[in-house]
Structure 1
Amino acid sequence: MAGGLLLGVAAAALLGAALPAHNPATGFDDPPPDKIVIKVATVNGSGCPAGTAAVAVSADNTAFTVTYSDYLAQAGGNSDPTAARKNCQLSLLVHVPAGFTYAIASADYRGFAALQTGARATQRASYYFQGSPSTEYRSHPYAGPYDDNWQATDETDWAQLVYAPCGVQRNFNINTELRVTAGTDPRKVSYMTMDSTDGDINTVDHLAWKECPEK
């Protein structure tokens, strides 16, 4: 599975495949004792109709899970042309304990795809803080025939992590997208969904912490 990273300027977030075994010298070994608070500001998109997305924070404050219950792209057969692309723009209000800031250290996606011969599908994501002047995208392509679970991870190095500005409240935006094209036999349906064992999709983002400099 191909990896990727999200690059940007000071207000951007960078992603990694998993928290590495060592922390950078400027990082914070353990999450701060106070809890972070994450609330959904807005959810917009064809892949996340009202009431179908939720956010949960892990007990150790190092990750949060975005759960969707209606996120499916399909093409072929009698599929509506608009069903070939689904997206979800999730804007989060992230409160962090005083004196700390954070970066997104990883993003993992999983789901299921049933692609006919000749069909293609793409999972794409971007992450950025409110006010960031630019965003880069990373994509994970799949080709039919394919009938199995899938998992994708974006990654970067610790040295490339960019943290949220200290002392500034910025909404954190997650924009995901699924695309599917029909196969060589357009009468047959191909589809892609993000899905966990309980039927919902889970996007797990791990947080890296560091202490803000004293004023």
Structure 2
Amino acid sequence: MVRALLASGAAVAALLAAAMPAQGAGSSVSTIKAPPDKIVIEVATVNGSGCPTGTAAIAVSPDNTAFTVTYSDYLAKAGGPSLPTDFRKNCQLNLIVHVPNGFTYAVMGVDYRGFASLERGASGVEKASYYFQGSPATASRSHTFNGPLVDDWQATDTTEWANLVWAPCGVKRNLNINTELRVNAGTSDRTRTSFMTMDSTDGSLDTVYHLAWQRCPTP
């Protein structure tokens, strides 16, 4: 397991949220600011064609209100000399989140950003989902981008406070995050390549997950 370094969260683009209900979370759980103690995130596993070994890193913001995932080799493409398997890339992260005693958290929003070069008639899709270990439900969001497009892309999803789903109090549950990029050549000129990345033009992108906090009820 690789222990994530504590660092400041950088701004980026696309949001996502929801997961497993907290045990005991509800009217008896009080809403608070982020706990003063630092949280630590460890990467249990990282798998997928969009995040080969050593190309994804995680950092926690100093104020405990967000954590970032940075990708450096996340690209899907279609058309031109692309291989049949290049049209879809994905990355699944299994995270161990060490939360200060007496607190629970929910993912309130997620920001993703990338770059797209899509020919006329081509399209790209960014999809993300996550769930707490043992949860039967998986929340997901997707965003479609249509060519012609040669520009940075971004998408932002947020969850209303009343609809947040909290990690269970007093129970260790790994957080699973699965992201995906797909590119469809569609009616575009198949001799030309369309592609979509989940990284910036300088080769890195911080995906920011914004956290909400509550204090667990006293036993």
Fold shared per TM-score above 0.5: yes
What's the counterpart of residue 206 of structure 2? Answer: 202
In 2, Cα distance between equivalents of 1:27 and 1:178: 38
Report the CA distance between 1:26 and its aligned residue.
5.3
In 1, Cα distance between equivalents of 2:69 and 2:114: 13
SS of the equivalent of 2:180 reads strand
Name stretches of at least 5 consecutive residues in structure 2 with no aligned partner. 1-13
What's the counterpart of residue 120 of structure 1? Answer: 123
Report the CA distance between 1:9 and its aligned residue.
4.9
* Contact in 1 for aligned 2:20/2:167 (Cα 8 Å): no
Amino acid at match of 2:21: A
Name stretches of at least 5 consecutive residues in structure 1 with no aligned partner. 12-23
* Contact in 2 for aligned 1:194/1:202 (Cα 8 Å): no
- 1:185 pairs with 2:210: no
Report the CA distance between 1:134 and its aligned residue.
2.0
In 2, Cα distance between equivalents of 1:179 and 1:41: 26
- 1:38 pairs with 2:41: yes
Q: Percent identity?
A: 65
In 2, Cα distance between equivalents of 1:34 and 1:197: 35
Relative distance call for 1:72 and 1:98 in structure 2 (3 A) is: same
- 1:73 pairs with 2:76: yes
TM, length-normalised to structure 2: 0.86
In 1, Cα distance between equivalents of 2:15 and 2:167: 20
Aligned length in residues: 201
In 2, Cα distance between equivalents of 1:5 and 1:51: 24
Amino acid at match of 1:186: R
Report the CA distance between 1:135 and its aligned residue.
1.2
Query: Cα deviations across residues 11-70 of structure 1 (Å, max 9, x unaligned)?
Result: 6xxxxxxxxxxxx99553321111011011100000000111110000101100001110
- Pairs within 5 Å for 1:68-147: 68-147=71-150
- 1:214 pairs with 2:207: no
What's the counterpart of residue 179 of structure 2? Answer: 176
- Pairs within 5 Å for 1:52-67: 52-67=55-70
In 2, Cα distance between equivalents of 1:124 and 1:162: 20
Amino acid at match of 1:42: T
Relative distance call for 1:9 and 1:173 in structure 2 (3 A) is: closer
In 1, Cα distance between equivalents of 2:18 and 2:211: 16
Aligned CA RMSD, in angstroms, stands at: 1.9
Report the CA distance between 1:201 and its aligned residue.
2.0
Report the CA distance between 1:136 and its aligned residue.
3.2
* Contact in 1 for aligned 2:18/2:131 (Cα 8 Å): no
What's the counterpart of residue 10 of structure 1? Answer: 21
In 2, Cα distance between equivalents of 1:65 and 1:5: 13
* Contact in 2 for aligned 1:6/1:135 (Cα 8 Å): no
Relative distance call for 1:78 and 1:196 in structure 2 (3 A) is: closer
Q: Which moved more, 1:192-201 or 1:145-154?
A: 192-201
Amino acid at match of 2:137: S
Amino acid at match of 1:208: A
Amino acid at match of 2:194: S
TM, length-normalised to structure 1: 0.88
Report the CA distance between 1:102 and its aligned residue.
0.3
Moved over 3 A (4+): 3-9, 24-29
